[in-house]
Structure 1
Amino acid sequence: MNRPELFFVFINLGVLGSIPLFGLQYNINYIEVYLLIGFIYSLFFLFKRKIEFSKLDLVYCVTLSIVFLYSLILFYFSPHGVTILPGSLTVFYMLISYVFSVINKKEFVKNFYKAIRWMTLAITIQLLYVFFIDNSGFSSNYYGLKNEAKTLMGSSNYLSFFLVFSIIYEVITRKQNWLIFSSVSSVGLILTLSKGGFLSLLLSIFLYIILIFSNKETSKKKARNALIFSFLTLFIVFFILSNVDFGKQLFGNLLYNINEPGAGRIPLWDKAIFSIQSNFLGTGITYVDDPHNLLLKSIRDLGIITGLLYISLMLFPILKIFRIEKMKKFTVEEIALVSSYSSIVIHSLFEIFYFDTLSAIWIGVILMVINQEFSKKNKINEIRLEIEE
């Protein structure tokens, strides 16, 4: 049960069924069952293996525990009552996912790229099936097509988070068969018709360009080739989409969102700001009038102090790599992971993602892998927990 490929496939399977929880009907996902069983199984065999926690691992585990406990305490003060408890579970699952990944660190780090490939391949195959096989009621309208872009785990904008991450990671790391899988992810992204997905891809590529030209570990030739490849790929995608109807509609809507930033979101942002001013301790993690913004939602739901703590935890990988004195010393793998992760953060500034069960579990794994890469250079800071039978 410690194979990340299988772990990510279970995320793809989506909802298993509904169960009564806290007086509500709670949709339980396949990955929740798999994660809990795997976590208990790992703890059962804990005495037969050695576990290594880095300082970063401990910081993340302790901080996520604090955030989770605080979100539960808010139940007694929240105007939303028991409806905030499913939201609290997303933080709990991120914590469990992170710990489970640490326990199985060797397998998760080694096979991480394979797991990403399995996930994006599954997403793209499902999208191809929806559009070209099960295409009853097929629409030529942009929003009609966008509504068709659904898989077992979610729909258009949600799916684009995973696909953009994969594209950037594959292109930067260039592991064996990277061109095939980056193409598969690109096809999947095009089929989602997600404006936010394309925008986050563009901004993350810009971040990547800054990093490779600042990093002394990257040769000028490699940096130049990466830049040429990035722009050539974008040009090809632009050319293809600009010659089909739904592509023209996609670009039209994308330009509108760029010219009118926050369009459609501003009323929700205003409500979130008002809620923060009215209740600085937080309202509890709720999906009522969701602001579609990681920063505002974290502070609104978790309060100013705990919300900022949670945000700092989620932004840490990006903030760390931009420490000027160390910016020139990162490996290609670190740059790939952080550039890919930045697309998630950027996209979450105008879409819902972090406070969702499936994505929270996935992010728990991503953060562990990133922190493991950071910790490789600081073995002196490793805290080894060795438990023997």
Structure 2
Amino acid sequence: MTNRAYNFNAGPAALPLEVLQQAQEQFVNYEGSGMSLMEMSHRGAIYEGVHQQAEALLRELFGIPEGYKVLFVQGGASTQFAMVPMNLLQPGKAASFVATGSWATKAIQEAKLFGETVVAASSEADKYNRIPSLAEIAIPDNAAYLHVTSNETIEGTQWAEYPDTGSVPLVADMSSDILCRPLDISKFGLIYAGAQKNLGPSGVTIVIVREDLIGTPSLTVPTMLRYSTHAKNDSLYNTPPTFAIYMTNLVLQWVKAQGGAAAIEQANREKAELLYRTIDESGDFYRGFAQKDSRSLMNVTFRLGSEELEKKFAKESEAEGFVGLKGHRSVGGLRASIYNAVPLSSVRALVDFMAEFQRRNG
């Protein structure tokens, strides 16, 4: 297709064109069943096959070891902000956090509803333009877990390496960078991610949780908000978001066809390096927001000399077919979200536009 937009939306975000075309072909009559997958029972054999394949592919591609459950739940990462403390916070324990930006702050605020919270490190004094160093993190003795936000979409920062938390479970919100690179999953007690940025459409949230952390919560927790409920029922306790899981399955098949997580990382780094180089070599016309050692592979945030010029950039880029380049309303500026499915050709088109815009306005 030649009329596809250059999609740099922060989420819901770009999906691989091949995946969309495959879904289009299968939409009305899935594998000769005479029905769309959207019409099928989640208890039927056809959907169960899709469900099981999605889990198997995620385990394979993300290197999830034995001893972890993979759950498909609803409510997005925002519901996980509450589910994590509801399930993991014990009497006398504290939920500890590294405050790295807007999404980490939301997670902290939600955890405060359920018990003691401690900020183990923060980059607030630097306007969240960096990830705190590992040496800055002071995990309290009574920590139930340490929570990190692996990638801050609004500020454009990302953890390059994760802390060794010892016996304290490491919990990570990976909504915006899950499967953008290989990871050692055994470092984590729990990972959660809304699918709509890097894995599929909105509607399904992935939870990867170590089995020893799935137990009876100390709080009175509704049935649907217990990890044990979903773990015992293979995420089929109630009707799951079947179409979103199906689409996630197709995206995972696409990731595998690209060469897996390592190949995806190489492609992501090529895109990010091209865009950051354009910013850095612009002679201060474009100014990156995140400190260089904290720059995100997924969300490239930058500013221009004035808000007026930024508005002009956003307006003119939109007219040229670029979508989603305005920064988040809470911080302003500009942002290009270059998730797994964003092709290198879109980034090349963007840097060409940036060069021409600078030529005309520099």
- What TM-score comes out, normalization by structure 2 length? 0.28
Structure having the higher helix fraction is 1
Which one has more relative contact order, counting CA pairs under 8 Å at least 6 apart? 1
- What TM-score comes out, normalization by structure 1 length? 0.26
Structure having the higher strand fraction is 2
